[in-house]
Chain A
């Protein structure tokens, strides 16, 4: 009897675990709900503080925003529109529903003027709905979906750092031109992966390349095994020159480790990665990725200006900034500058102030806030991971092969978007 009950229990628990596993663990909650007095500016950082994206954004994004506030206060001193500027942060655990309710709480009860960051495309879109409904500002930094400036665009939402088009256009086009025409695409079979697959297929075809095979791997891939796809890639006819992987985070680590295990590079199949952060290279080690090309929105050791910011950031956090951290700093700074210029934090006035504005700062090079769809365009970079022998400094893993001009890096405003 005990046996039968226990079998039932295990089967039921397995099923429960399946459901729960998709949701991640618990995490720190927000700091409460103090009412902010009028005349104060409150910036809200809403992101993943305990899960898969907590290294590339997470608490360190909050630090980046705090740096921006300190710099703004140092610059304007008594002339600042207000001296009372603070940050609130919350963990959305990559759950769209939680992101939605946290965003409402921020706007309604914490007096937040601007929500920043919000990784995970599905969560990012739900926050855009709240911004539209509450008529409050939202700068998305860490999510990839082009829908933020496409069919889900709205007057109060700006997409700041990157998107799937930028990644596919940079990596897909240049890799096709420089490495080889035939591609095999491997993507995680959910919204982000499918979006990436479409963007890459289009960019590859545009550049005269061809997708000879593509597969959607289970997401999440519980077995952690990608060998069947890697073996298939090597046997396709015609043989692909490039394996394009759209996996992210830990799944990307699995793909790359196994790509090396099966020695695909030696078999003439190069590797291109759809979305990669400096933190991913750090955990895989540059040796495992040497020669891999990808599109980067910003690199900390690109020039002196970036490096100075990276040094300050490292003093505060102990690590080098990802492009998302730099973009959070830049977005907070540009918002505060707009408020200073407008003399008010009224959202509609700030939108008018920002639209069409051209910006150069530590993150945005040749940056422009497009009025048509609120896409923030800026130079992007084609990056290549250095061989281990050329890595002389921890975190300096990449060389920039090419700068993709802002106008080419992003797609033209989508006809689906009416603000």
Chain B
């Protein structure tokens, strides 16, 4: 039982990363109808931002946790204005190519400067060691990540559900034409929402720096799973992305713990689940098939 709870907890921690990344993708897709394939690269930039601040300027983890996502939000907004914006009217394929190209450029720029070897990042002093959770000890940092990610997700949900900004975003996501017809300027929210989605990716990157290898390709591997998560949760569904993020994290951890006799299955479990969900509900678990326009 303890072992089961431990692996569940670990799954939730992995899931926290998936959820933060998937949430950013979902918000961006909802508002812009753009699938941001550069999301993994921004996650990587988040981790490198933390590394550079610490190594070059001695800026601690806690400050990086605030500064890096803000800086990436600004970068994201600039990119939205300069590029993404121009392509939103065209076939989705164009933005796919754009963001995929951006990924390659960002990865190679970082590679050029810092090489492919992982860069060192130490665990922040206050979060070392482990805490007693009653049944078992658990690393403090993992508990922190879990709490922090849940708080962010709840915060985003509250903003969307309870504030005027959230109402506009939700309305624009579901019926953009109707929202415009009601005299609401949808366009002015597009850039900040894109920036916000990017900031979430950057935040996940900063959180990953102390516990994962910080290198130019760190996002490329992870983002594949995150896209599967988004498809499972339902593209554009805010709740779906978060639920699927945590859910897939747990499924993966259980598979690693209990299916180690079948490494092939443990390795591909996410995609098996994705295929099954797509057969059963083509729009994803929480997505709604759009009414024909």
Which residues of B54-99 have CB atoms within 8 Å of chain A's CB atoms?
Answer: 92-93, 96
Known contacts: A7-B231, A224-B212. The answer to whether A285 contacts B217 by CB under 8 A is no
When chains A and B are docked, how far (Å) is the Cα of A280 from the Cα of B115?
A: 13
Q: What does DSSP make chain B's interface, helix, strand, loop or mixed?
A: helix
Minimal beta-carbon separation of B285 from chain A (angstroms): 12
Report whether B129 and A18 are in contact in the complex, using a CB–CB cutoff of 8 Å: no
Question: Which among B7-15, B156-164, B193-201 touches the partner chain?
Answer: B7-15
Report the Cα distance A18→B253, complex, angstroms: 20
With beta carbons under 8 angstroms apart, the residue of B35, B218, B257 that contacts A224 is B218
Answer yes or no: A412 CB below 8 A from chain B CBs: no
Among B123, B213, B235, find the residue whose CB has the most chain A CB atoms closer than 10 A.
B213
Are A14 and B224 neighbours in the complex by a CB distance under 8 Å? yes
A: contact size bracket: 35 or more
Query: Are A13 and B227 within 8 A (Cβ)?
Result: yes
Contact A235/B141 with A6-B235, A51-B116, A257-B210 known, Cβ cut-off 8 Å: no
User: Which residue of chain A has its CB nearest to the CB of B220?
Assistant: A21
**Nearest CB in chain B to that of A284: its residue:** B120
Nearest chain-B residue to A257 (Cβ)? B211
Please tell me if A104 contacts chain B, counting CB pairs below 8 Å. no
A218 touches B263 (CB 8 A): yes
Query: Are A285 and B253 in contact (CB-based, < 8 A)?
Result: no
In the bound assembly, the distance between CA atoms of A55 and B215 in angstroms comes to 12
* B227 lies within 8 A of A223 (CB): no
B138 to chain A, nearest CB (A): 9
Q: How far apart are the CA atoms of A108 and B232 in the complex, in Å?
A: 51
Secondary structure at the A interface, as helix, strand, loop or mixed, is helix
Give complex CA distance A208, B290 in Å: 65
Q: Complex formed: what's the CA distance from A141 to B47 in Å?
A: 33
Contact with A along B253-293 (1 / 0, CB 8 A): 10011001001001100110010001000111001011011
Q: Is the pair A229, B256 in contact by a Cβ cutoff of 8 Å? A: yes
Residue B203 is within 8 A (CB to CB) of chain A in the complex: no
Which residues of B are found within 8 Å of A280, using beta-carbon distances? 117
5 CB-based A-B contacts, threshold 8 Å: A7-B278, A25-B108, A52-B217, A260-B123, A283-B119
Taking A218-B266, A225-B252 as given, write out 5 further A-B residue pairs in contact, using a Cβ cutoff of 8 Å, ordered by the A residue number: A4-B289, A7-B282, A14-B231, A228-B7, A228-B257
